[in-house]
Amino acid sequence: MTHSALASALRLYLVTDQVSLLGHTLTDVMMAAVQGGVTCVQLREKQLTTRDFVAQAMALSALLRPLHIPLVINDRIDVALACNAQGVHLGQSDMPVELARSLLPPEVFIGWSVETMDDVTRSASLPVDYLGVSPVFATPTKTDTHTPWGLDGLRRVRAITALPLVAIGGIHSGNALDVLRAGADGLAMVSAICSAPDPRLAAQTLRTLCDGI
Amino acid sequence: MTHSALASALRLYLVTDQVSLLGHTLTDVMMAAVQGGVTCVQLREKQLTTRDFVAQAMALSALLRPLHIPLVINDRIDVALACNAQGVHLGQSDMPVELARSLLPPEVFIGWSVETMDDVTRSASLPVDYLGVSPVFATPTKTDTHTPWGLDGLRRVRAITALPLVAIGGIHSGNALDVLRAGADGLAMVSAICSAPDPRLAAQTLRTLCDGI
């Protein structure tokens, strides 16, 4: 995929979180979000057994594949291979990027979370396809993260890399346009969609914002 | 590998457990056990990040490879691929065996834990290379397991499969010969070696028992 094709695919990027589902099933929330206009889904599971993680990934993959919406697996190369995911997202405590690249088919894209400018600089020599700018704003979903980048930080990242940028952390309809204007190609969200009273409507509102810029 | 070559390689099988190390490093305990006569090492990690699990697996692999002692990775196909492990061990909540087989190079062997006679019967039509008979005796190391097989159960398993059998759970020098006589090809141990005051001596004692039968 070219940078610009990937950047479009990542435009409105749902990151799943079982904890935030407010009693709905993951599948229901994801499908509502997809109907609302989500363009990419990342499955992130830290508690499930491998068997359950694979089963969940396969179920989502079966729903997303006919819609041509990429499924991205967080951290686990084994699960990504098992469900033929289109992408993998790696953080700083996941498998090193070069190693992951060597284990994945060439068409599977790799996203990588950057937490410092050093990470961004390093990314130039790594086989990564997009960067996750994490966190842009403070967020209750992830508590183990660095100081938020803020809009200024995002602009500084934008200035030194041509890779597609997905911003994550504390994004909602009130600040989404600012984040896009600061240079993000995509907006990633957990609770703004998963925990919305109406995930479809929440996604639709955000998608309209994304399309209007 | 033929059944009999694999059975020999699995003869004295160390399963690592960070919790049982009594303040020693995993590497030190493993190398002492190897000097004492361990023929195979399984790395089992449920708490580490993927990055740390891969680093640990690579460190052990670098030590074991020149000694021609197979390294088996528990559960994680991604880690096994990353460190070029010789084997993978799968339990009932890990990736389904057929799927794991499709993701691994053909020379990587697969062990599978059987907890019921139904599992043993099913194994005949699965791409598995050895069975872990788990637990043979009650054990404090794993608390989420089924009723122990006992020596009678092990004999019943032996009677209906030609696959190499590795017995695990509550094995020590006092019952090792009984387990081998009941049909086990290999003895797997966590605490009898990891938590021994002298892991090398513990392994040596068990190896002498294995070689004498």
Averaged pLDDT score across all residues of chain B: 94
When comparing pLDDT for A49 and B1, which is higher?
A49
Set of chain A residues whose Cβ sits within 8 Å of the Cβ of B81: 77-78, 103
Contact B49 A96 (CB under 8 A): no
Which one, of B190, B148, B155, B203, lies nearest residue B35 by Cα?
A: B203
What does DSSP say about strands A71-74 and A87-90: parallel, antiparallel, or unpaired?
parallel
Look at residue B42 in the predicted model and tell me its pLDDT: 97
Contact A95 B54 (CB under 8 A): yes
**Domain count of the fold of chain A:** 1
Which one, of B74, B70, B75, lies nearest residue B86 by Cα?
A: B70
Contact B82 A94 (CB under 8 A): no
pLDDT above 80 for A1:
no
Set of chain A residues whose Cβ sits within 8 Å of the Cβ of B103: 78, 81-82
Look at residue A143 in the predicted model and tell me its pLDDT: 59
Contact A50 B82 (CB under 8 A): no
B191 is in an annotated binding site: yes
Set of chain A residues whose Cβ sits within 8 Å of the Cβ of B78: 76-78, 81, 95, 103
User: For residue range A35-78, what is the model confidence (pLDDT) as tens digits?
Assistant: 999 999 999 998 899 999 999 999 999 999 999 999 999 999 99
Set of chain A residues whose Cβ sits within 8 Å of the Cβ of B58: none
Look at residue A142 in the predicted model and tell me its pLDDT: 60
Contact A51 B77 (CB under 8 A): no
Set of chain B residues whose Cβ sits within 8 Å of the Cβ of A103: 78, 81-82
pLDDT above 90 for A2:
no
Look at residue A107 in the predicted model and tell me its pLDDT: 97
Look at residue B17 in the predicted model and tell me its pLDDT: 81
Residues of B designated as active site: 44, 113, 142
Contact B50 A78 (CB under 8 A): no
- Candidates A51, A74, A90, A97: best to mutate against B (most CBs of B within 10 A) is A51
When comparing pLDDT for A143 and A186, which is higher?
A186
Look at residue A46 in the predicted model and tell me its pLDDT: 87
Minimal Cα–Cα distance from B78 to chain A, Å?
Answer: 5
pLDDT above 80 for B20:
no
In this prediction, residues A152-173 reach a mean pLDDT of: 96
Handedness of CA A28, A31, A36, A39 (dihedral sign): positive
A43 is in an annotated binding site: yes
Q: Report ipTM (2 d.p.).
A: 0.92
Contact B95 A82 (CB under 8 A): yes
B44 is in an annotated binding site: yes
Q: pLDDT tier at B212 (50, 70, 90 boundaries)?
A: confident
In the residue annotation, A44 being an active-site residue is answered as yes
Look at residue A17 in the predicted model and tell me its pLDDT: 81
In this prediction, residues A132-155 reach a mean pLDDT of: 86
Look at residue B3 in the predicted model and tell me its pLDDT: 83
Provide, rounded to the nearest whole percent, the portion of chain A with pLDDT above 70: 97
Closest to A93 (Cβ–Cβ): which among B51, B78, B82?
Answer: B51
- The residue assigned the tokens 């990040």 is B49
In this prediction, residues B186-196 reach a mean pLDDT of: 92
Contact B50 A99 (CB under 8 A): no
Look at residue A213 in the predicted model and tell me its pLDDT: 83
B113 is in an annotated binding site: yes
In this prediction, residues B92-105 reach a mean pLDDT of: 97
Q: pLDDT tier at A150 (50, 70, 90 boundaries)?
A: very high
Distance of alpha carbon A42 from alpha carbon A85, whole angstroms: 10
Q: pLDDT tier at B4 (50, 70, 90 boundaries)?
A: confident
B50 is in an annotated binding site: no
Look at residue B21 in the predicted model and tell me its pLDDT: 81
- CA-to-CA dists, residue B190 to A13, A60, A156, angstroms: 44, 38, 51
Q: Chain A: residue nearest B102 by CA?
A: A82
In this prediction, residues B143-148 reach a mean pLDDT of: 74
Burial B165-204, CB ≥16 within 10 A → b, else e: bbbbbbbbeebbeebbebbbbbbbbbbbbbbbeebbebbb
Q: Which domain holds residue B110?
A: 3-211
Q: At what angle do helices B50-64 and B26-36 cross, to 10 degrees?
A: 30
Q: pLDDT tier at A145 (50, 70, 90 boundaries)?
A: low
- The residue assigned the tokens 């209007």 is A212
Residues of chain A in Cβ contact (below 8 Å) with chain B: 49-52, 54, 75-78, 81-82, 92-96, 99, 103
CB atoms within 10 A of CB B99: 18
Minimal Cα–Cα distance from A76 to chain B, Å?
Answer: 7
Look at residue B143 in the predicted model and tell me its pLDDT: 58
Look at residue B23 in the predicted model and tell me its pLDDT: 82
Look at residue A141 in the predicted model and tell me its pLDDT: 62
What CATH number does residue A58 fall under? 3.20.20.70
Minimal Cα–Cα distance from B158 to chain A, Å?
Answer: 27
Contact B54 A96 (CB under 8 A): yes
User: For residue range B153-177, what is the model confidence (pLDDT) as tens digits?
Assistant: 999 999 999 999 999 999 999 999 9
Look at residue B114 in the predicted model and tell me its pLDDT: 96
Look at residue B144 in the predicted model and tell me its pLDDT: 61
Q: Chain A: residue nearest B54 by CA?
A: A95
The two tokens of residue B7 are: 């059975």
User: For residue range A99-116, what is the model confidence (pLDDT) as tens digits?
Assistant: 999 999 999 999 999 999
